[in-house]
Amino acid sequence: MSNELDFIPLEGSNERSDSEEIENSKEKIIKNVFVEESELKTSLKRKWEEANSCPICLSPWSSTGEHQIASLKCGHLFGYSCIIKWLRAKTTKDSRCPCCNAHAIVRNVRKIYACNIKVEDNSQYESIKKEKNELNEYCENLEKNKAHYQIYTRIANGQLITHKNLITDYKQQLKKLKKKNSNNDKYQFNSTFIIDNNLKSSRILAYDPLEKALYASKSINPHNFGIVKIDIQTNKVGEYYQLHEKMIKDIHCNPHNGNILSCSIDKTLQIFSNKTRDMDICIPLDYACWSCCWSTYNENQIFAGLSNNLILMYDIRNLSTYCTKLNGDSNKPIHSLIYINNLNNGNSSEKISSGILGASLDSIFYHDQETIDDNNNTSYYYNTATLPHIKYYNLEKYEMEERKKNPFGYEGESTTMTDILQDEKRHRQLNKGKRLTTSGIMMTEDQLKDLKKIYDERIAADRLKKMGYEPKSSMGIRYEMQID
């Protein structure tokens, strides 16, 4: 038998071994399935037993009796007798739940009357339900945002259409303007002058018709403000001249001599000479100056608009005080001033309207020249001891008036000729008794102030002569009140 088995062909033995392996694998698979099913059943049974058993004694609880199912405040289930023993074994402060370690006492134990308790695991269902609700809320928010964006797109489309229409209208108007300005006689944009790279540096611009130049304000630093000259003929920017310590509010050029009048919020009003290229006059003010202008009625008069809504007129021949003070009918600063002159009635030479026109932040006002003259508070009384007699200004007129007063008693030496030296001698003798003869008297403080004032006026008169003005003959002369 054994010999026969030795002569079995190899192919048959291989087929048999393969079939055996297949059958063995089938048996192993079936065994594994049965093992898994048994393990699943045992695990389910274990879970069921754990769910229906007391976590303290691990024995199933009952629906009645001492081991009846009971619960604590936290919701965990135990056998009644087991949890009572557990809680009584410790003090009331140290008694805790065996599952969650929450504080519990005997009074918190509640019996539960139920025949059979079965717990279903729905945690996955609750999580899915929560995700569904969140997705629904997200979709609702998306729908709301979609509706809002649709409204915004409609509004934006409407605005886009209106802007496109405006652009087309502006293009048509630009074409019309280009056609109108195609002639060479019309004004055209010529050149650009770069004064400073800082956009806030240059704010004020003034034109000088004599030199055909522009003057623009410029600031180098927060405490250095001045002007720059721009030559229109050569298209060049000139040197910088410092005028004020704070921002310049207004600049005006004198049409007669080209001098520059400037004002600033540093409470000063200055005149810059166009000949000497230096500051000649500086007038201190009590308030910040917002505007200024020259008077075309009288070239020696200047106006200053202040921040307290007042207009002050100064005469540059006598800068001891202002000549006229006018109100601007408001409480806001006066930002613009201009003098209106030479408005005649037809061919007549009589001026029917001359005055100062100004504007504040909320009103426009006008004061004519008569009002300016009426408010003039300057009155001078000359000292006859230091000034020539009035007759020397017009001798013939003075002699005629004296003859009319006393035709037979006039003590003139000749009707055609007057002895000036003898007349001066006579007046010296008359005024000799009026003078003070005491020599040892010290000067008072008021007298010293008067002398200082006379000295300053003489310096101002010299400056005016350099600038091309003709100063008053009273500058540098001592004044006194006239006594009746």
Measured distance CA(334)–CA(350) in Å, rounded: 30
Q: 205-374 belongs to which homologous superfamily?
A: YVTN repeat-like/Quinoprotein amine dehydrogenase (2.130.10.10)
CA dihedral 55, 61, 65, 67 (to 10 degrees): -10
Which H helix or E strand runs over 81? helix 80-88
Residue 2: what pLDDT? Answer: 41
CB 53 within 8 A of CB 61: yes
Residue 61: what pLDDT? Answer: 77
Burial of 358 (0-12, 13-18, 19+ CB in 10 A): buried
Half-sphere exposure of 375 (CA within 13 A, CB side): 17
Q: Where are the domains of the chain?
A: 125-163, 205-374, 390-467
CB 248 within 8 A of CB 292: no
Asked whether the CA dihedral 59, 61, 62, 65 is positive or negative, the reply is: positive
The alpha carbons of the chain give a radius of gyration, in whole angstroms, of 57
Which residue is associated with the tokens 């040197």?
A: 239
Phi, psi of 464 (to 5 degrees): -65, -40
Question: Would you give the DSSP letter of residue 296?
Answer: S
Residues 6 or more apart in contact with residue 73 via CB below 8 angstroms = 102, 104, 108
Reading the chain (484 residues) residue by residue, the pLDDT tens digits are 444 434 334 444 444 555 566 666 666 666 665 666 666 556 555 555 566 788 888 888 787 888 888 999 898 889 899 999 998 988 888 888 988 989 988 888 988 887 666 555 556 777 888 888 898 899 999 999 999 999 999 999 999 999 999 999 999 998 888 877 665 555 555 677 777 766 667 788 888 888 888 888 888 888 888 888 888 878 788 888 888 888 899 999 988 888 899 999 999 999 988 888 888 888 888 899 999 999 888 888 899 999 898 999 998 888 888 888 888 877 889 989 998 876 555 555 555 578 888 998 888 888 888 888 887 765 544 444 445 566 666 677 777 777 777 665 545 444 445 566 777 777 777 766 555 444 445 677 888 888 888 888 888 888 888 777 887 777 766 554 433 3
SS3 of 78, please?
Answer: strand
Complete DSSP assignment for 142-194? HHHHHHHHHHHHHHHHHHHHHHHHHHHHHHHHHHHHHHHTTSTTS--------
Chain centre to alpha carbon of residue 474 = 49
